[in-house]
A and B are shown apart, each in its own frame.
Chain A
């Protein structure tokens, strides 16, 4: 019995040492660009991009396998930042993704106070208590839609951010129409 224990212990110790040394000396440096992109992304891991989380999406973007407009919560500003970091030109007119900012909204009539949405919310943007109506704090919601999936009564909906005097802005002047050349 002692032999067996000794063998396994030695084996375990040697392999452990080997792994520890390998982790120290054969370390693969993470691409700094991935870290940069991860820092830019919202970090709510909502999965609207089709990846498991923001980290994976960042890797895909760095490799060039994902387009820059896959993140709805990030919106237009994020695309601009990403394009600047990755050194690419981004033409907004080609983008198919909806970049209109969205917010979650609780329909008061159908909310049963089940608390599932605020447990799912990564930004603590939903407040409420069991069997009490819940509500979304607009300034904390980034539109990740994680709460939509867990709501049993479909009382949560995504709505467009309302235009108010604080976020209203001038539209872009229409481009000059092609003028007929003088004959």
Chain B
């Protein structure tokens, strides 16, 4: 039986003003910028060369290794260049990006789709999901097919469909459930089919009554699929929090949800899976919430992946120059350095904040009120961890749970002194990552140094042996010459 709510959490102003505006399809711009890495895992490798003609939906870059995803062309046209372009990342550092030119002809190869994909074997569904390049569209961008295969091998008895959308401002999943109920439902059925028919729960926060109503009607005919209305509390939609709320079981630190028998997918992912498996359409478009006070026409937009945020904002219109541009929601989204950055698979929202909307509160000393401790959904002590990180005591911070922090930002939100707590944890996690990388490099270099020393010793030994051999050969020859000379002299004497 689920608990009353999750531990901790906060309740920020919802700002879900776009939840009654119909999804608008955005026309494909002249150029699309598709980074080769839009997912967790190895970057995809380009499968098309510069100036090669492409059709809509064709694979332009192929997955590399087991955790990776294909990338498809959202338009027809040609590949203009493969270059370094600003990544959707707070640093705005360049990443390998394929630039496509749209010819506007929407040419598409014929695709054969199975008559009824619900009769397909689970492995085949996973294979089609993998081919379509689908990743977790809630923002985690973990390849969905890998998750499905894992769920198949572990035989997870519970499938949770995450329709919580607990971030303020964002309404893209809400709109999908309201407008494209049948397609979302189809995707959920396919997911259930791929996991050998588990107990399926669609979790939706109570602030989306219309979506709950429509989804409940849609799953009336299915015994094993049901809707569960969950309390409106941030971060309800975080994987581990939602699983604990629904199943009453915690995902242990450092383990996967599949380890406790749960597979979790997002509403948008289910929709993309229906498109891919039912209609043979790979992941080339996604629904993005565009909001913020600087936007003239906020709403939900169906955007081709690779469209620049500046193009999208131009389409939606701007009331004023945005003070801050966020990718994702206001709690966990990344502030971008500029708008010349493409929309990628994991981008569920673009927020253009006006000057009045951006809070610029000054930091004050910690008053030890423990608001952050109450707000932490994991049960950590953010004020202690931040104090340790302030003094670079990384090990101590790890000991009290830095690795378990999900960076949800509830602590920063709750702090009355405006201490940038989550920034400290971002910093600490970054340092940990660098430390790991450095350790790996050090070990590798030690191995190289030892390898070289062994090789050098071997070469030295071989050299000595060769010299010894040569000396022996010379000695032998000299002895032979001597013997011959003696024989000759003996002959002469004889």
Taking beta carbons and an 8 Å cutoff, which residues of A are in contact with B? 42-44, 74-75, 77-78, 80, 84, 92, 122-125, 139-140, 142, 163-173, 175-176, 179
Contact = CB atoms under 8 A, between A and B. Distances in A.
Contacts of A122: 449, 452
11 contacts: A80-B394, A122-B449, A123-B445, A123-B452, A164-B93, A168-B430, A169-B430, A170-B90, A170-B430, A172-B424, A173-B424
A165 B88 CA distance: 10
A124 B451 contact: yes
Nearest to A43: B449
B395 interface: yes
A165 B91 contact: yes
A182 B452 CA distance: 65
B153 interface: no
Given A75-B438, A122-B449, A169 B427 contact: yes
Interface residues of B, number: 39
B448 A140 contact: yes
A78 B429 CA distance: 18
Given A42-B446, A75-B438, A170 B452 contact: no
B441 A139 contact: yes
A48 B451 CA distance: 22
| Residue picked from A42, A75, A173, A179, most chain B C-beta under 10 Å | A173
Contacts of A80: 394, 435
Given A42-B446, A77-B439, A80-B435, 7 more contacts: A122-B452, A123-B452, A139-B441, A163-B91, A163-B93, A172-B424, A172-B427
A169 B423 CA distance: 11
B364 A179 contact: yes
B89 A123 contact: no
A140 B439 contact: no
Given A123-B452, A124-B452, A77 B438 contact: yes
Contacts of B429: 170
In the A-B complex, the 3 residue pairs with the closest CB atoms:
A169-B430, A170-B426, A123-B448
B448 A124 contact: yes
Interface string B32-45: 00000100000000
B445 A142 contact: yes
Given A84-B395, A92-B392, A123-B448, A173 B438 contact: no
